[in-house]
């Protein structure tokens, strides 16, 4: 598949910013989506080719519909959607606020679903495209202080796997990335261990995994540091 238009949610920092830089270097038009324009602008300053910035709340279906339509009109049809945006609040279950519960479910799960819904019709008409869902190892196994975060990620994993079944007889690819801890703003305020992975390394693995190959299909990848125990 010749990727021309790449849409990345949560592109203001971390893995999203790394993926944006690498796809820009390949000559793609990268659409940077996120809640904070200053962060998106900071990412844009690292890009070598055309880009577009879209402030968006992906937990709002209406916001997603309007933004995806705007991208279609201003840039063109989307070849690659990377659902990367995510938020996490880590504490014992009884200590989590109602607002933090809503945010994790709304952004990590609903946001992934809403963005995917808005690209499917055009991808189906062309019978091509790729949807990459950045999930987490918390979508494969439970960890202490991550009950609701894991619930949102298990939901994203279920959505990814079922979507792949829906689209298995089409030219549209669905890919799930499950990684351990990275050195990103998700852990802002918490201690970032030296063993946490670099976003650039994770981005390289994801991009290599989704490259089209004859008679080979990679549906998911698990990425973890060599000291990951759980």
Does residue 230 form part of some domain? no
Percent of the chain with pLDDT over 90: 83
Which pLDDT belongs to residue 190?
47
Residue pLDDT, tens place only, 202-229: 999 999 999 988 888 899 999 988 665 5
For the chain, the distance separating the N- and C-terminal CA atoms, rounded to the nearest angstrom, is: 36
Does residue 115 form part of some domain? yes
Residues with a catalytic annotation lie at 149
Mean pLDDT of the chain: 92
**Overall domain count for the chain:** 1
Residue pLDDT, tens place only, 93-145: 999 999 999 999 999 999 999 999 999 999 999 999 999 999 999 999 999 99
Percent of the chain with pLDDT over 70: 92
Does residue 28 form part of some domain? yes
Does residue 228 form part of some domain? no
Residue 195 has pLDDT above 90, yes or no: no
The pair of structure tokens assigned to 87 is 């938020």
CATH code for position 84: 3.40.50.720
Which pLDDT belongs to residue 229?
53
What count of other Cβ atoms lies within 10 Å of the Cβ of residue 226?
6
Does residue 229 form part of some domain? no
Does residue 107 form part of some domain? yes
Do 27 and 49 meet the contact criterion of CB atoms below 8 Å apart? Answer: yes
What range defines the domain where residue 15 resides? 5-223
Which pLDDT belongs to residue 151?
98
Residue 185 has pLDDT above 80, yes or no: no
Window from 54-58, 68-72, 163-167, 191-195 with minimum mean pLDDT? 191-195
Total residues found in the chain within this entry: 230
Which residues partner with 5 through β-bridges?
Answer: 29
Angle at CA 28, nearest 5°, toward 6 and 87? 35
Average pLDDT of 191-212?
85
Q: What string of H, E and C letters represents the secondary structure of the chain?
A: CCCCEEEEECCCCHHHHHHHHHHHHCCCEEEEEECCHHHHHHHHCCCCCCEEEEECCCCCHHHHHHHHHHHHHHCCCCCEEEECCCCCCCCCHHHCCHHHHHHHHHHHHHHHHHHHHHHHHHHHHHCCEEEEEECCHHHCCCCCCCHHHHHHHHHHHHHHHHHHHHCCCCCEEEEEEEECCECCHHHCCCCCCCCCECHHHHHHHHHHHCCCECCECCCEEEECCCCCCC
Average pLDDT of 15-30?
96
Residue 192 has pLDDT above 60, yes or no: no
């Amino acid at each position: 598949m010749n990727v021309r238009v790449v849409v990345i949610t949560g592109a203001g920092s971390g893995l999203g910013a790394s993926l944006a830089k690498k796809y820009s270097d390949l000559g793609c038009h990268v659409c940077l989506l996120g809640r904070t324009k200053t962060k998106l602008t900071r990412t844009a300053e690292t890009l070598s080719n055309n880009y577009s910035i879209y402030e968006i709340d992906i937990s709002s279906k209406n916001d997603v519909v309007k933004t995806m339509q705007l991208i279609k009109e201003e840039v063109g049809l989307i070849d690659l959607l990377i659902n990367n945006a995510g938020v996490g609040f880590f504490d014992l279950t009884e200590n989590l606020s109602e607002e933090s519960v809503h945010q994790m479910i709304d952004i990590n799960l609903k946001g992934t679903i809403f963005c995917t819904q808005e690209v499917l019709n055009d991808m189906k008409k062309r019978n091509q495209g790729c949807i990459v869902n950045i999930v987490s190892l918390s979508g494969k196994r439970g960890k202490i202080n991550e009950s609701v975060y894991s619930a949102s990620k298990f939901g994203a994993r279920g959505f990814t796997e079922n979507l792949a079944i829906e689209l298995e007889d089409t030219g549209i690819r669905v890919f799930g990335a499950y990684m351990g801890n990275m050195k990103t703003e998700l852990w802002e305020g918490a201690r970032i261990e030296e063993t946490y992975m670099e976003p650039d390394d994770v981005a390289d693995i994801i991009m290599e995994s989704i490259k089209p190959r004859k008679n080979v299909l990679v549906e998911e990848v698990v990425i973890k540091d060599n000291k990951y125990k759980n």
